[in-house]
Structure 1
Amino acid sequence: MFDRRNTERKRQIMMQYMHDDTEFMDLECTPTTCEPLSNVDNEEDVVEENSGIEGYEENVVIEETLHTSSGEVVGTIYGKAGTTYFDCRVSAEHLERSEYVSVVHDDYGPVLCQVGTLVRKSNLTLEDANDADINKIDDVVSAHVDVIGYRDNRGLLMSPRTTFRAGSKVTRADQDLVKSILGLKINPKTDGYIGLLHGHGIPVALNINELIQRHACILAKTGGGKSYMSGDIIEELMKHNVTCMIIDPHGEYGAMRDAGTKGEILELMRKTDMRSFLPPTKKAIETLREEGELYSVTDLINVLKEDGGAKNAVLITELEYIDSMGIFAKRGNRIDELVENGKTTIINLKGVPPDIQQLIVKRLATFMFELRKKGSIPPMMFVVEEAHNYCPQAEHVMSSKPLATIASEGRKFGLGLMVISQRPAKIDKNVLSQCGTQIILKVTNPNDLKAITASIEGLTTGMSDDIQSMPIGMAMVVGAGIESPLLVEVRPRESRHGGAGVKILGDD
């Protein structure tokens, strides 16, 4: 029987073994200081041997001493029993939904299962309900149990191919069986720790290579903890010296860095009727291109003045204003200069209009894909917050195609994609379906739930219910070495979280 009282103690024990010396990057795209990551071609490992997180082996030993399993009988199989589910009459005083149980199968030995739904039936009728003596009510609890599987002699997770026998005893799964069947073993060289298995306190980690090579998504409703969870994963990527770039539309990830200088938005350029500006601007640009040299905003203004200054007066005024702002440098930042081996770069787009954000994401995604194909930049993870704005399902925007290209082809070149969104139903299904690792926090919108259910294999009815009722700090995780969806108590962040909502009223 697991002990829920020790949850915080387990968290604290795990935290004693986490690195506390990781430096985080500046908001203005200043990269972190990390050791270089060895170059990787195609689908070879992204993470090679390095120190990882010290003390992982000790973590496992500690956790094993915190729990003991009695193999207590909790019920008996009755009625329908298939190869992927069975019904169980519950005899234990306490059994929870999503709890792990086991049954000894005639052909396959111990099989790990999970409680899906619980129902209590009684002989109390509607007419007698008001006057009933609770101590005299006869009732029985039944459970619908989903089968996870067993490990064959090759170590593969398999489902039974023959049914369970009615009358078989159902017991609480012991820790060793849970760890073995679910594959909960941590390799500190290649795995990133994300939290504890709910109800068991077993450390859960993601394989960094699979996380990058097969892409990932983090989905949750507003305030569900998706930015907090993504921060955990980014911390683990940084510990393993993985190169990252983060599209940060709300300026949330800057809180991960040490104190540094911040940029200041002076003023957003006012809206104008751009259509009237297009013909003369296009003509001026074509003129400058024919000359075959690099040109500036000043050159563009001069051409417009030469080509009838009066009729282009409004456009010239706007361009002169833009030129005075100094937002166009004589020498721009090269994309490959933003991506540094083993470092993390945050592209802070807070305050930038949506269409400009999409343009920036398009340019970055396009160039990174081409540069990675040539091997000009290291293998990396491209993290996109509010992904439904950059690759929406309902429409095609500037950034849709390059993100879809990375999702479908990036793994071949060591370019991983992590999409983060509060509206899964609004993300391009072609992108979401390519995410081999899914991390789901609380979601309640029916359309979003349908999108999630369609994208996750092995998601049971009970798990779908869990997604709607999960508390903050809990996540359902599958992929990156995790073969069956798990409920995970998310580990505490080591850096400051910048995604919390604004407090309107004080505590006083």
Structure 2
Amino acid sequence: MEVNNHTTDALAGTVKGPGERPHEYLFITADNRRARIGEFVYYSAHDGAEERRILGNITQRRLVRNLPDTFLSDPETPPAMLSALIGLDGEGCELYEITVETIGYFSRRLGDFVNPRIPPTPGAPVFLASSQTLSDVLSPRHAGDTGSAHVGSLLTREAGEVPVVLSIKDVVSTHLAILASTGAGKSYTAGVLVEELMMPHNRAAVLIVDPHGEYDTLRSIEDDARFRDAGDGYRPEVKIFTHDRIKVRFSSLTEADVKYLLPEGTSDKMLHFLTQAFRQLTATRQNELWGYHDLRDEVKAQKYEGGERSESSNASSIEGLLWRLDMRFDRPDSLFSDSEHIPLAEMFQPGRCTVLQLSDIEQNEQQVVVATLLRRVNKARVATVRGEAQPGSDMELRYPVFTLLEEAHRFAPAGQTVVSTNILKQILSEGRKFGVGIGLITQRPGKLDQDVLSQCMTQVIMRIVNPIDQDTVAKSVEGAGRQLLNELPALTKGQAVISGVGVNTPVMCRVRSRITRHGGETFDAPAEWAKWHTKDEQQHREQDAALLAETPTQKKAEKVRGFQI
């Protein structure tokens, strides 16, 4: 048989018959505690000469028999007492009709579930699958295996009883989406995943785009012995790039990037002159570095004053364009540089997690940073895989990489196209062939481009209460069943529905505790206000005030006409 029997498999109920849909069946049970939504049960069926255990997931439950309402109306009198007076067993009076969605039996050869489409016989027993059985078949990997990510345990069992372990190969190659309302634990869960990626059995090359500065606490990974391998000396590295260290080489910008960064009100005529300058520059200096002032010179070279009475002068348009360009690019604090940028080899290396903190960068500049970075990564991986990259050059990236994008709806918003949207779509559709993985994290799935979301083949979906976001998830996420998605509003912090290619079948998961400290905790405002009035805080304020106080200058009193001043 494909799934081993276990002594803790327990009888759960009896098959009633088929459900409303072809892959559903109903069974009757008196066990209210075990027959929970999200739980796994099975029935036995013969498939040729083989006996199979056909696993299924409980999706609905309905009370079909209960004590009379009058027995339940008086809270002071236990219903069991009233039923005993007339000879009824009140403890076993309730009966439930349970709807099960058939998954199939697990094939070791295929490493996946197979649905033989053999319906259960009415009256056949239904068993609650043991924790050992579920541990063997729900996850494609075991915790600690190469390519595994132990993110939590099955929600319907005791914590840690049935581990939920993702396949890193499938998550990275076919992309990931972590979706949740604010405060549901999406960044916490992303931190758990990064911890797993940095473990000795994975040693991944990870980049996190962090618009809020929540991931700097991952730095403690470097000093934690649990992430090291004494055998070969492996020790993960975490690099944090704050906004002042992030530079984008100007020649890596496209014409669309430059136009996107110009302020509103830039006329079509100005954009025409910019296009002409950009094309001239890229045509003549295709394989050379060039900077902002080179582009500025090309724009200025188009300036034509015209004759004394001529109306053909373009001076005002050119001057207006130059002013707009200078305001954006000719600033001392500009993140755009003629020569500097962060080398890909410095950001990506197996066993290294790099965090780009974009919290002090304008949103449109954040989008350009992400667009240029993803273009560089994708181009380098394509060139490397095809053998076209020069060894040691910035175009050589010899290993697969994984990039996590927090606030993903900023970089691929629904209903509009920003500079980062197209490269994201390209990587999501083609990155699998070249080893470029993307993870999208957002608290507003409804604001994320649905084409982008639908190409993430593994989904971690946490509590979502907004109806628009729920509808977006239902339309874009194919792996999770509608009934499981109905559970999203009822999930509490740290609980998730995980579906897609990263697991063998959709599961409800309790996310494990993080090893590193979470950097996105909500401030406890009342506690901070109360702290202000503590004796220690008052003493600190007095000490600070004393240091800042200036000693008054002692001046000799002067008299003018007998008056002291």
Aligned mates of 2:502, 2:328 — CA distance in 1: 54
1:79-98 paired onto structure 2 within 5 Å: 79-80=17-18, 84-92=23-31, 94-95=33-34, 96-98=36-38
In structure 2, the gaps of 5 or more residues are: 1-5, 84-89, 221-238, 246-260, 306-314, 385-395, 531-565
Find the residue that maps to 1:229 and give its secondary structure.
helix
- The answer as to whether partners of 2:414 and 2:447 remain within 8 angstroms in 1 is yes
- Among candidates 9, 12, 15, match of residue 74 of structure 1: 12
Equivalence for 1:408: 429
Find the residue that maps to 1:483 and give its secondary structure.
coil
- The answer as to whether partners of 2:180 and 2:462 remain within 8 angstroms in 1 is yes
Q: Higher mean Cα deviation, 94-103 or 221-230?
A: 94-103
Equivalence for 1:168: 124
- The answer as to whether partners of 1:193 and 1:204 remain within 8 angstroms in 2 is yes
TM-score by length of 1: 0.74
Residue 304 (structure 1) shift: 8.4
Q: Higher mean Cα deviation, 469-478 or 237-246?
A: 237-246
Aligned mates of 1:298, 1:194 — CA distance in 2: 50
Residue 77 (structure 1) shift: 1.3
Q: Higher mean Cα deviation, 323-332 or 357-366?
A: 323-332
**Deviation string, structure 1 residues 340-360 (Cα, Å, up to 9, x no partner):** 321222222213222222222
Work out whether 1:109 is the aligned partner of 2:48. Answer: no
**Deviation string, structure 1 residues 408-427 (Cα, Å, up to 9, x no partner):** 00000111111111122332
Letter in 2 for 1:352: I
- The answer as to whether partners of 2:243 and 2:359 remain within 8 angstroms in 1 is no
Q: Higher mean Cα deviation, 228-237 or 288-297?
A: 288-297
Find the residue that maps to 1:505 and give its secondary structure.
helix
- Among candidates 149, 161, 174, match of residue 192 of structure 1: 149
Letter in 1 for 2:344: D
- Among candidates 260, 275, 300, match of residue 266 of structure 2: 275
Find the residue that maps to 1:256 and give its secondary structure.
helix
Residue 220 (structure 1) shift: 0.8
Residue 125 (structure 1) shift: 6.8
Aligned mates of 1:426, 1:273 — CA distance in 2: 23
Work out whether 1:424 is the aligned partner of 2:445. Answer: yes
Aligned mates of 1:493, 1:506 — CA distance in 2: 24
Residue 402 (structure 1) shift: 0.6
Equivalence for 2:339: 331
- Among candidates 323, 326, 335, match of residue 319 of structure 1: 326
Residue 442 (structure 1) shift: 1.0
- Among candidates 181, 206, 223, match of residue 137 of structure 2: 181
Distance 1:405 1:272, change over 3 A: closer
**Deviation string, structure 1 residues 430-465 (Cα, Å, up to 9, x no partner):** 222221211111112223223323344453344123
Work out whether 1:452 is the aligned partner of 2:459. Answer: no
Equivalence for 1:469: 490
Equivalence for 2:204: 242
Residue 164 (structure 1) shift: 0.4
Work out whether 1:204 is the aligned partner of 2:171. Answer: no
Find the residue that maps to 1:257 and give its secondary structure.
helix
Q: Higher mean Cα deviation, 248-257 or 79-88?
A: 79-88
Distance 1:329 1:75, change over 3 A: same
**Deviation string, structure 1 residues 299-356 (Cα, Å, up to 9, x no partner):** 7778889968x96499559838964525354521155345332122222221322222
Find the residue that maps to 1:325 and give its secondary structure.
coil
Letter in 1 for 2:136: S
Aligned mates of 2:293, 2:106 — CA distance in 1: 69
Equivalence for 1:370: 379
Aligned mates of 1:337, 1:480 — CA distance in 2: 30
Distance 1:103 1:291, change over 3 A: closer
Whose Rg is larger? 2
In structure 1, the gaps of 5 or more residues are: 1-67
Find the residue that maps to 1:94 and give its secondary structure.
coil
Aligned mates of 2:296, 2:71 — CA distance in 1: 88
Aligned mates of 2:475, 2:348 — CA distance in 1: 37
Distance 1:334 1:352, change over 3 A: closer
Equivalence for 1:254: 216
Q: Higher mean Cα deviation, 366-375 or 346-355?
A: 346-355
Distance 1:288 1:421, change over 3 A: closer
Q: Higher mean Cα deviation, 253-262 or 430-439?
A: 253-262
Letter in 1 for 2:507: L
Distance 1:381 1:197, change over 3 A: same
1:222-241 paired onto structure 2 within 5 Å: 222-239=182-199, 240-241=202-203
TM-score by length of 2: 0.68
Residue 484 (structure 1) shift: 0.5
Aligned mates of 2:299, 2:23 — CA distance in 1: 72
Aligned mates of 2:11, 2:476 — CA distance in 1: 35
Aligned mates of 1:406, 1:104 — CA distance in 2: 44
Residue 74 (structure 1) shift: 2.2
Task: Indicate the RMSD between aligned Cα atoms, in angstroms.
Answer: 3.6
Residue 73 (structure 1) shift: 2.0
Work out whether 1:144 is the aligned partner of 2:165. Answer: no
Letter in 1 for 2:459: Q
Distance 1:69 1:221, change over 3 A: farther
- The answer as to whether partners of 2:140 and 2:166 remain within 8 angstroms in 1 is no
Residue 486 (structure 1) shift: 1.0
Distance 1:296 1:182, change over 3 A: closer
Work out whether 1:99 is the aligned partner of 2:55. Answer: no
Alignment: residue pair count: 437
Q: Identity rate of aligned residues, in percent? A: 28
Residue 279 (structure 1) shift: 7.1
- The answer as to whether partners of 1:197 and 1:204 remain within 8 angstroms in 2 is yes
